[in-house]
Structures are given as structure tokens and as C-alpha cells.
Amino acid sequence: MGPVLDELEKMYAGKLIIERVDVKADPGKAREMKVYAIPTQIFFAPDGTELFRHVGFYPGEDIIVKWAELGYKLEAAK
């Protein structure tokens, strides 16, 4: 997922915040976020409410489509 997330960070700079948790280095954070498999993507609303969770590889295009389905239309940075 690293390269996919790197590309999304570049394409949607200032519009999409991507936070990564190293579950080996920070198992407490993984437990807190209820991450039991790698990779796990969790989508949060601006207020911190969890909107959606996906386990497994998730293509970048599908991530952007999911945000739109959740009501957040993202446009790539210029």
C-alpha cells in the first residue's frame, strides 16, 4: 500500500490526510484503532468519526471513489 498512499498524498496534497501506523512499532495504537490485519485502511470524517474500513489491498482509484460515495469529492491538487 505504501506506493499507493504516497501517490495519493502527492495528488491530493492539502485535501487528503493520510496517517500511517506501524503496528510492529506501535502495537498499542493498532489495538486502539482495532487493526487486526495488515493492510487496513480506515476513513475518518473531519470530526474523527470512522466512516468506512477496508482490510486488504485497496487501489488508489477505488479509495477516491469510496470518498466520493461517502460524500467527499476530492479534486487532485494542481
Task: Output the pTM of the full model.
Answer: 0.89
User: Distance between CA 54 and CA 42 in Å, rounded?
Assistant: 7
State the Cα–Cα distance between residues 77 and 74, nearest whole angstrom: 9
Q: How far is residue 58's CA from residue 78's CA, in Å, rounded to a whole number?
A: 24
Spatial contact of 32 and 40, defined as CB atoms under 8 Å apart: no
At 78, list the grid cell. 494542481
pLDDT digits (tens, 9 = 90+) for 24-63: 999 999 999 999 999 999 999 999 999 999 999 999 999 9
Cα gap 60→2, rounded to integer Å = 11
